[in-house]
Amino acid sequence: MAICDAHRHGADAEVAICDAHRHGAGAEVAIRIEGLSKSFGPVKALDGLSLSVPTGKVCGFIGPNGAGKTTTMRILLGLLPRDAGTVRVLGEDVVFGKELGVRSRMAYLPENPVFPEKHTGLEVMDLVAGLYRLDPRTARKRAQMLLGEFHLEKASRRSVGTYSRGMKQRLGLAACFLPEPEVMILDEPVSALDPEGRVEVFDILTRLKGKSTVLFSSHILEDVERVSDSLLMIKGGRKVAEGPMEELLTRFAADRLKVRFRPDHVARGKDVLAGLPWVERVSDADPPGTVLVDVRPAMMDEALEETAFRLAGEGLRVMEYSRVRTDLETVFLRLTGGQPPAGR
Amino acid sequence: MGVLVGKEIRQAWRSFRLPALFLVSLFLAIMDPLTARYMGEILARLAQGVTIVVPPPSPGQAVAQYLGDIVEIGLLVVIAITMGSVANEKASGVTTFVVTRPASRRSYVAAKFVVLAGGVMAAIIAGTLVAGLYTWTLLGAPEWGRVGLAALSVALYVWLVFSATFAASMVAGSGLAAGGLGLATMIVMGAAGAVLGGTEVGPYLPSVLVGNVQFLLAGTGDVDIWARLVRPGITALVLSALFLLLGYGRFRRQPLP
């Protein structure tokens, strides 16, 4: 699966995956959205959004605040009507106001999980098991195991009203995992967790790869990069990028070079670099003497081939010269129109 | 739906909504016959030097006092426990918690309705039985047939206001708004009875059900069940069904947070 160059239109445009490279068809796609639009009064939350999530993959769903992530999720769950487009989950059309059979195969965690008042953690798990019609004995054992895994064993007989936000998020995750759903939709699943809790949750998500399809949103891009097989990036209700994580990172990593000059050649080296036609931006980085070179879109081959040659031609002494492996945050900022901080 | 009914019973009990309903009903069931029995003596003690003649209360009057209080105080309690039942959960996200799992919106509201309506009706039946039995010990046996008809009249009227409040809770975004609509229903029903009582539609109005209490329990003549109970009862049930259908129709199409 690859991102087609022919469909790549620069930083602000959609990075599409051509039909031949789409994530399979039918059973290979757990979630498929096509031409989805939704407005709230004059505000266009989603604008012809199309995307697909391959079966059995963990898919990170990212975008700036107000990009339309939660709206997309709510439409996927049938909580919100759409203005246009189609939404299919596990082959079933999601239509607002219609009973969905597919709900027995999905689970959802909102950003701020809420539970029925006056219930204990264990009762919430029993309720979820009952709604999914799980065998009560098996479900109880699994519930206790999950509560233990999420460090809620001691609090399991306390009212959820006494839980902290982090505890509620962990209970919400345990409740999602209980029925072993085929599709999980998680909205900021670790936003209230400490670093240790985040690692634990993502370890569990990693173990689910191949078993469940997970679509999760997060603003912690480091986590998204670590755990996701594929990535969906939206901005202003439109898709900005979609594809396997490694391919996206590789694709965008190719647009940056790192050059380290001998200390007395740094200033002149920067001047020379800034004058090259394929260079978009030059910024300082650590260690001293290091310069990051942002290359204009689609000019990386030329930049790789010519930059070192030009620098050598100017008599500049280069200690290090390499392509930068861009992290997701940089990719995100570039595709959403932000600027990566100097030095990254 | 059984799982959801269990959830509702747990919530209604632990949040003190169901116990409150029964406690108020039983409190009135005990206090009203007592008050009726000793009202003469209480007044005599208070009004020193003045002779007040209070006719001895009949058992029917004591039960009528209880059912009258249910229509006034009891209804306010019913509105209070019903108004937030759906509206507050919609706002807090509990509704989303339920309906994003394999549970339909219909079963979600049906479970709530069953538990609350069952609780309200059970509280009226229990209260009427206690009031009747206690009256028996204080004043003698009431006419149980008439007590039953009067209680049924009150139950139908309460059912109407309860249904309107529940429907409002499905539609409204907050419990307070739903409570306001429930109270408005109460007021409109009373006003309609006062304004239209003498017209051709008067005998069909649910307010006739409230008037039945005194008529049935204070009087001794024959009772035209069709006119006193069935005709206004059908109106109350039809209006209740209409409110509920409209409320659910709106709720079914409501976006959820």
Q: Has residue B15 got a pLDDT over 90?
A: yes
For position A254, what pLDDT does the model report? 54
Looking at residues A231-249, what average pLDDT do you find? 86
For A136, nearest residue in chain B (alpha carbons): B3
The shortest C-alpha distance from A131 to chain B (Å) reads 6
Q: Has residue A344 got a pLDDT over 80?
A: no
Contact list, A131 vs chain B (CB under 8 Å): 3-4, 98, 101-103
Reported as a pLDDT band with limits 50, 70 and 90, residue A158 is very high
Least confident residue range of A28-32, A131-135, A197-201, B117-121: A197-201
The shortest C-alpha distance from B2 to chain A (Å) reads 9
CB contact under 8 A, A117 and B102: no
Q: Among A206-220, B66-80, B216-230, which range has the highest average pLDDT?
A: B66-80
Least confident residue range of A325-334, B61-70, B71-80, B86-95: A325-334
Least confident residue range of A144-158, B103-117, B212-226: B212-226
Q: Has residue A325 got a pLDDT over 70?
A: no
CB contact set of A189 (below 8 Å; sequence gap of 6+): A109, A169, A172, A173, A201, A216, A218
Identify the residue among A99, A100, A106, A187 best suited for mutation to test binding to B, counting B beta carbons within 10 A and taking the highest: A99
**Residue ranges of the domains in chain B?**
2-252
Q: Look up residue A299 and give its amino acid.
A: M
Higher pLDDT, A293 or B49: A293
Least confident residue range of A222-231, A306-315, B151-160: A222-231
CATH number at A256-325: 3.30.70.100
CB contact set of B120 (below 8 Å; sequence gap of 6+): B21, B78, B158, B159, B162
Looking at residues A88-108, what average pLDDT do you find? 91
Q: What is the pLDDT of residues B155-183, one digit of tens each?
A: 999 999 999 999 999 999 899 999 999 99
Determine contact, residues B209/B157, Cβ cutoff 8 Å: yes
For position A252, what pLDDT does the model report? 67
Reported as a pLDDT band with limits 50, 70 and 90, residue B28 is very high
- By CB atoms closer than 10 A (0-12, 13-18, 19+), residue A75 is buried
Determine contact, residues B138/B34, Cβ cutoff 8 Å: yes
Q: What is the pLDDT of residues A49-81, one digit of tens each?
A: 999 999 999 999 998 888 999 999 999 999 999
Contact list, B2 vs chain A (CB under 8 Å): 130
CB contact under 8 A, A130 and B252: no
CB neighbours of residue A18 within 10 Å: 12
The shortest C-alpha distance from A344 to chain B (Å) reads 38
Q: What percent of chain A has pLDDT over 90?
A: 58
Q: What is the mean pLDDT of chain A?
A: 85
d(CA B87, CA B61): 39
- Chain A interface with B: residues with Cβ < 8 Å: 74, 77, 79-81, 96-97, 99, 103-104, 106-108, 110, 112-119, 123, 127-128, 130-133
Contact list, A115 vs chain B (CB under 8 Å): 94, 97
Q: Has residue A136 got a pLDDT over 80?
A: yes
d(CA B53, CA A335): 91
Q: State the residue for tokens 């399991």.
A: A156
**A33 backbone dihedrals φ, ψ, rounded to 5°:** -120, 130
DSSP one-letter string for A317-338: -EEEEEE----HHHHHHHHTT-
For position B183, what pLDDT does the model report? 92
Q: Look up residue B111 and give its amino acid.
A: A
Q: Has residue A342 got a pLDDT over 80?
A: no
Q: Has residue B41 got a pLDDT over 90?
A: no
Query: What are the CA-CA distances from residue A116 to residues A77, B68, B245 (Å)?
Result: 19, 35, 25
- By CB atoms closer than 10 A (0-12, 13-18, 19+), residue A231 is buried
For position A157, what pLDDT does the model report? 95
Q: Has residue A249 got a pLDDT over 90?
A: no
Looking at residues A102-122, what average pLDDT do you find? 94
CB contact under 8 A, B3 and A127: yes
Contact list, B89 vs chain A (CB under 8 Å): 116
Contact list, A130 vs chain B (CB under 8 Å): 2-3, 6
Task: Evaluate whether ipTM surpasses 0.90.
Answer: no
The shortest C-alpha distance from B102 to chain A (Å) reads 5
DSSP one-letter string for B96-159: HHHHTSS--HHHHHHHHHHHHHHHHHHHHHHHHHHHHHHHHHHH----HHHHHHHHHHHHHHHH
- Chain B interface with A: residues with Cβ < 8 Å: 2-4, 6-7, 10-11, 14-15, 89, 92-94, 96-104, 252-253, 255-257
For position A4, what pLDDT does the model report? 36
CB contact under 8 A, A116 and B14: no
> Which residue of A80, A97, A103 is in closest CB contact with B102?
A103
Q: What is the pLDDT of residues A18-54, one digit of tens each?
A: 333 344 334 489 999 999 999 999 999 999 999 999 9
> Which residue of B94, B252, B255 is in closest CB contact with A114?
B94
Higher pLDDT, A252 or A225: A225
Looking at residues A206-210, what average pLDDT do you find? 84
For position A338, what pLDDT does the model report? 65
CATH number at A5-251: 3.40.50.300
Q: What is the mean pLDDT of chain B?
A: 92
CATH 3.30.70.100 residue ranges in chain A? 256-325
CB contact under 8 A, B100 and A77: yes
Reported as a pLDDT band with limits 50, 70 and 90, residue A232 is very high
Contact list, A128 vs chain B (CB under 8 Å): 101
Q: What is the pLDDT of residues A277-302, one digit of tens each?
A: 999 999 998 888 999 998 887 888 88
